Structure 1
Amino acid sequence: MKKRIAIIGGGIVGASTAYYLSTLPGGDQLDVTLYDDGVGQATKAAAGIISPWLSKRRNKQWYQLATDGASLLMTLARKANLSTEIYHQTGTIVTRTNEKDLHELYTLAQERQAESPDMGEVALLSAEEVQARLPLLTRPQPGVWVAGGARLDGQALVEELLSQAQQVNLTVKQERVSFDHEGQLIASAGAKRFDQIVVAAGAWLPELLAPMGIKVAVRPQKGQLIVLNVPDYPTQENMPVLMPEGERDFIPFGHGKLVVGATHDDEGQFDLSVTPDATTDLLSSAQHFDDQLTADSIVGTKVGTRAYTADFAPFFGRLQSHPKLLVASGLGASGLTTGPLIGQLLAGTMIYGGTPDWSKYQKSLTNYVS
C-alpha cells in the first residue's frame, strides 16, 4: 500500500519537495497531494538571482546552505531539462563605486572561488567592460564578474517542477487547508489522513500551526518588483544579472524583458496590492543605470509575501511534538537559492527515514518553533 504524503504550499520549497518525491528512488511507493490556494506566494514575485558567493552575511550555516543550493540548481537544471527561459547561467556582476571597496570585493571573490569552484571565473571589470556585457546600461559602474551566477524565473520553475511530478505521483489541489488541534489536515471535503505532511507555507506557517498550540517565530514582509519593456538586443538573452551597490537588482530576461527588484516592505506584510511609491522607487533605481527607462517602459508588477526570522535564517525539519509533520520557512530573499535544496532534504528524509543531521545548514529547529 502506498504511503500518503501531503504538501501544504506550492512555492519553491513545496514544489521542490514534490519534484524530489517523484524522482528519488522509492518515490513510486508514494501518493503525494499538494495544496496551495495561489495567494501571495513569494516565489511568483521573486527577482530570481542565484549568486550567493559574494554575500557578506556572517551566518556560516546560511552561506553553506546557499552555496550548496546554488550548486544543486546547476544539477537540477540538467536533470529536469530546464529551458534557459527558466534557468540560465548568464553570470552576475556585483558593482561598487568606491575603488577600495571594489578591490576588496574582488579579493573576497578570489578567496571564495578557491572554496567554491562552481563560482566559475571571477574577474574585475571596468565600467566600460560592464557596459560591453550589458549594453542596456547608459550609466555603468565597475564591478566583479562571477561566471557561475544565474537568473531564475521562480514562477516558471515551480510550474515545471510540479508538471513533471504530476506525471509520476503528484496531485495538485488549488485550495486552502487548515489543521485541527490534533494536527489532522482539514481540506474542503473534510478531514484527510496522511502518513506525513510537509508544511511549506512561508509566512502563513504560524497561522497553520496555531490550532495545535505551536508558535512559530516568523514575520511577513511584502516584496514588489517591476517588469519593463526594453530594446531587444541580440545578446540580451545571455546578458548577466546586475547586482548594484545600494540599488535594486537589474535582471535582463531576454526578448526585451527587464525585471527590477525587489523591495523589502516590513509594514506591508500580507498586503498584495501594488504600492505606487514602491513602483516609483524601483523605476528610479533602474534609471540610475539606464536613463532611457521611463514610466511607460513598465509593463507589469508582481507582489508577494516573504517569510523572515529574527536572524534572517531559514529553518526546516520534523516537529518532535508531531512527528508526521515537517516544516520549512524563513527563507526570506534567498528562497530561490535555498528552497530546492531544502525540498530535496525533506523529500529524502520522508522516503528513507532516520534523523539526518542538518546542523551545517541551520540552527536547532527549536530556535524558531516552540
Structure 2
Amino acid sequence: MARQQQVVIVGGGVIGLLTAYNLATQGQAVVLLERAGVGQESSWAGGGIVSPLYPWRYSPAVTALAHWSQDFYPQLAERLFAATGIDPQVHTTGLYWLDLDDETEALAWAAREGRPLSKVDMAAAHDAVPVLGGGYSQAIHMADVANVRNPRLVKSLKAALLALPGVTLHEQCEVSGFVLGDGRVLGVNTAHGPILGKQVVLAAGAWSGELLGTLGLSLPVEPVKGQMILYKCAADFLSCMVLAKGRYAIPRRDGHILIGSTLEHEGFDKTPTDTALESLKASAVELIPALADAEVVGHWAGLRPGSPEGIPYIGQVPGFEGLWLNCGHYRNGLVLAPASCQLFADLLLARTPIIDPSPYAPEGRVNAG
C-alpha cells in the first residue's frame, strides 16, 4: 500500500473532506484517511449554524474566516447539489439572541463590521416566532444567518469527492504516526501499512494534538464533548433560530428541531448521558414551551477540537517539511470550513491567499513538547 501519493490528508470530517475537494478540483492526487467513517465526529454532531454562536466574542482572526464562509456557503451548497444530487440544505432563517449580558458589545461589533444585527422589540420577536417562551425581556436579530444540514453536507462532499479523478478514500483507517526521512515528513503509518505522500495534511479534529505529539510537538487541541437532542415537529413550527443562555434551537426545513449543546471536558469519552438529556430538554422547553409535548427523536454526542480562542491552525509546520495543519476549529468547524479550506489550498498551491494567513500559522503556536 506504500505507493507515492501527492497529498495525504488525515481526517475525514468537513475540514478534511473540503480540503481534499479543493485540492482534487485543482488536479492534485489526494488520498484521504479516516479512522472511522467520514464526518461521524464533530462535523456530524454540530448544529450547523453558519455563524459563531456569539460572533462578537471572537478575535478578528475567527471573524475574517466566518465572514468569508458565510458569503460563500450558498454557492458551495449549489455546486455540491449540482454535482451530486444531494442538497446540503443551506437554510436562511435568521437568528434571535435573547437576554444577552453583552448586547451593547454585540451591537457595537455589528456596526463596526457592517453586519445586519439590530435590537428588536420583544413583542416583535414574539410576533415573528410565536412559539417562543415568555420569559425573555430583550432580543437582537440578524436576518441573513443560515444553517446547513451538516450530515447532508458530509454526504454531499463525500459523493463529490469520489466523483473526481485522482481521489482515494480509506475509511476505518487509523493513522498512528508519521513516516520521517531526509529531514522531512514522507507519509503516515496506518494499521494497513505506510502511506506515502509529497505533502501530509493533519485535519484530524480532536485527535490532531495526539498525532502531532508523536513528533514531540505540543499542539493545544483537545477533545471537548458536546451533546444535543432532536425533536420532530411540523415543517412550519419554528421559523427562525433562537439562542439564549448558551443553548440554541435550530429548525431544519422538514420540521426537525435541533437543541444544543453541552460543553464537557471528558477526554475522548462521547457517551450520551441522562444528565445532559434532562438539561437539554429543560433548555428546549424554556426556549419553546410547546416542545414539552414533542418527542425527542435523537440524542447524541461528538467531540469538538478545542483550541485556544478557537483560532484554527492552518499552514505548514515549521521544522517538518511536508507536514501541514488544518485543524483546531473548536466550535466553528462547519462555520469556518469554506474559508479555512480555501485558504489552505491557496497556501499549499502557492496562490495568493483569500485572507491574511498569519493569524493561523502554526509557527510560534506549535511548540516542542
Q: TM-score, normalised by structure 2?
A: 0.85
Other-structure match for 2:120: 125
SS of the residue aligned with 1:64? helix
78-87 vs 326-335, which moves further: 78-87
Change (3 A) 1:6 1:265: same
Query: Match of 2:223, as an amino acid?
Result: P
Note the C-alpha offset of 1:210.
2.7
Query: 1:275 deviation in Å?
Result: 1.3
Structure 1 residues 34 and 280, CA gap change in structure 2 (3 angstroms): same
- Check the 8 A contact 2:179/2:188 in 1, yes or no: no
Matched, 1:216 2:219: yes
Post-superposition offset of 1:73:
2.0
Q: 1:254 to 1:356 in 2, by over 3 A?
A: closer
Shift of 1:55: 2.3
- Seen in structure 2, the aligned counterparts of structure 1 residues 294 and 43 have a Cα distance that, compared at 3 Å, is same
Q: Which runs of 5+ in 1 are unaligned?
A: 114-118
Cα shift at 1:285: 0.8
Asked if the contact 1:230/1:257 (under 8 Å) is kept, the reply is: yes
SS of the residue corresponding to residue 324 of structure 2 reads: strand
How far residue 361 of structure 1 moved from its aligned partner, in angstroms, is 4.1
1:4 Cα deviation after fit: 2.1
2:190 to 165, 187, 192: 187
Equivalent position of 1:57 in the other structure = 57
Are 1:95 and 1:102, in contact at CA under 8 Å, matched by a contact in 2?
no
Q: Which residue is equivalent to 1:13?
A: 15
Q: Partner residue of 1:37? A: 35
CA contact (8 A) 2:88 2:156 kept: no
- Partner residue in 2 for 1:116: none
2:340 is aligned with 1:342: yes
Structure 1, 302-311 or 345-354: larger mean CA deviation: 345-354
CA contact (8 A) 1:218 1:368 kept: no
Between stretches 213-222 and 347-356, larger displacement belongs to 347-356
Letter in 1 for 2:169: V
Counterpart-to-counterpart distance in 1, 2:36 and 2:81: 25
- Report the equivalent of 2:142: 146
1:71 aligns to what?
A: 71
Task: Show the 5 A alignment for 1:1-370.
Answer: 4-23=6-25, 27-28=26-27, 30-38=28-36, 41-52=41-52, 55-57=55-57, 59-81=59-81, 86-96=89-99, 102=103, 105-113=106-114, 119=115, 121-139=116-134, 141=136, 142-169=138-165, 170-174=167-171, 175-180=173-178, 182=180, 183=185, 184-233=187-236, 236=238, 239-244=239-244, 246-266=245-265, 268-294=266-292, 297-352=295-350, 358-359=356-357, 361-362=359-360, 364-370=362-368
RMSD value over aligned CA atoms? 2.8
- Farther-moved stretch of structure 1 (121-130 vs 255-264): 121-130
Match of 1:171, as an amino acid? T
- C-alpha displacement of 1:369: 4.3
Greater shift in the superposed pair: 128-137 or 61-70: 128-137
Distance across 2 between alignment mates of 1:273 and 1:4: 37
Amino acid at match of 1:205: S
In structure 2, the residue corresponding to 1:242 is in which secondary structure? strand
**How high is the TM-score relative to the length of structure 1?**
0.85
Where structure 2 has 5 or more consecutive residues not aligned to the other structure, the ranges are none
- Paired residue type of 2:132: L
Q: Among the aligned pairs, what percent are the same residue? A: 24
CA contact (8 A) 1:7 1:35 kept: yes
Cα displacement (A) at 1:168: 1.0
